[in-house]
Structure 1
């Protein structure tokens, strides 16, 4: 079952359900004991009373137990996020309801894809069978991004704006991909519907701004050690009638740029999809 994205008290929340054909006691051990968590959880977990620590090969972060009601509910904070595991009785074993309160909505696509893999690894551990980590992440992330509407642009006055997740890519790598190491305006900064013009500002590896006959375009790249890397694109459109086309063009442009960060640099420009999106944004 795919993840759902909801908003609770103004915060984005991912929700997963899994029917596990094992006793609640066995599942409880798998979701609460560090020796079991290491087989499927994305970080190495240490628990000392209410204090928690999550370790990766090159970083670590802290958390705390928020709720512990064996064998029913285990909830904890991980950085600014809150994770909650609830086990509900079921005739065939137990129903796991897992929710993840996110610190930033833009990360929901990659986080949902990641948890799908982790929960599959949990099921394999419970069944005592091997699990092979997937190597293809782009497709699952793209599907969730579309499903959750995280690829949609918005309009604020004359500004067309997009914010897209770039996962954890270092800014220097993103900038190199974006510019190709070339001086001046890189080809990836413009597209067939937004022709290039003079560069008005550049601050590697975070900012590029240029004028186009359609209006000023601003690319901003940011990295947060807890939330990952993002790109925010703002296009101040000169002609209001051009807004649906600008939204469609940048929608597709950013899809292609996201794919390029995963090595897919040869996707052709999909004119039919731009036309379809232009109609949708204009309706």
Structure 2
């Protein structure tokens, strides 16, 4: 397996390679025949197999795509909603190297897409081997797969800007469950421990909009937690810490470790936790 993520202009490109023990012509049929696509692709597909031909998906509805490149039995590319999927079939000994290039707008959603395609391609592999579509999770636990791709694609590192440090991370649990795991609503003006790190203790509570936003002041700046709707069913965490340049390396390290522990803890947290009974 090999995955990379890069930016080009204002878009991101996720590239994945998988080696399959099937001849290229079999893989090509799985990529282009609706009856086979229905058994592994995340949507039913109807297509006119020509450049400029329409390709229709049932998810999301009413978003027809267009085939942008076609070189049988080697390359097919098409739009899907705002994304572009480019599939390349390369002979590799007795099998095939399948290369998927997925162009997306959501850079930080890439781990979720990578986990989804890993599961789909595993289903294709099983189909081509003559088996039934594998049961859900056979390619690996989807949440654990996604967390692994966060690290593999370097999206756990955080970045610095003119104000301080910033982390954006797709999480595996919905907003109420993440809010609860962080400690929930502040009590008597006290910031719950789950929102803090030892290196930058809070000195005052700022804006709170449960369960989406909590902000507080430290001795050298301001920390802001935001939980937004993310890719799939999980929350998107955006954490910003405004701090002076001399403290940014410490902040990057502290928050990277803290958010990593939160993400691991969420893997064993029920998805409905934090919701009203």
Q: TM-score range by the shorter chain?
A: 0.7 to 0.9
Q: Check whether the contact 2:178–2:235 (CA below 8 A) recurs between aligned residues.
A: no
2:217 aligns to what? Answer: 211
Deviates further, 2-11 or 195-204: 2-11
Q: Do the aligned residues in 1 keep the contact of 2:69 with 2:75 (CA within 8 Å)? A: yes
CA–CA separation in structure 1 for the residues paired with 2:70 and 2:23: 18
Q: So what's the TM-score if we normalise by structure 1?
A: 0.79
Moved over 6 A (4+): 225-228
How far off its partner does 1:165 sit?
1.4
Report what 2:228 is aligned to. Answer: 222
Residue 251 of structure 1 and its aligned partner are, at CA, apart by 0.6
Please, which of 81, 84, 87 is the counterpart of residue 82 of structure 1?
84
Supply the RMSD in Å over aligned alpha carbons.
Answer: 2.8
Partner residue in 2 for 1:197: 203
Q: In the TM superposition, what are the counterparts of 1:1-283 in structure 2 within 5 Å? A: 1-9=1-9, 11-47=11-47, 50-55=54-59, 60=61, 62-65=63-66, 66-130=68-132, 131-134=134-137, 136-167=141-172, 169-181=173-185, 183=187, 184=189, 185-223=191-229, 229-237=235-243, 239-263=244-268
State the alpha-carbon separation in 2 of the partners of residues 174 and 47 from structure 1: 40
Count of residue correspondences: 260
Q: Relative CO higher for 1 or 2, CA cutoff 8 Å, sep ≥ 6?
A: 2
Question: 5+ residue gaps in structure 1?
Answer: 266-283
The 3 A distance-change label for structure 1 pair 83 and 12 is: same
Closer/same/farther in 2, CA of residues 175 and 46 from structure 1, 3 Å limit = farther
Q: Verify the 8 A CA contact 1:12 1:101 in the aligned structure 2.
A: yes
- Check conservation: 1:61, 1:79, Cα contact below 8 A: no
Q: Structure 1 residues 250-259 or 40-49, which shifts more?
A: 40-49
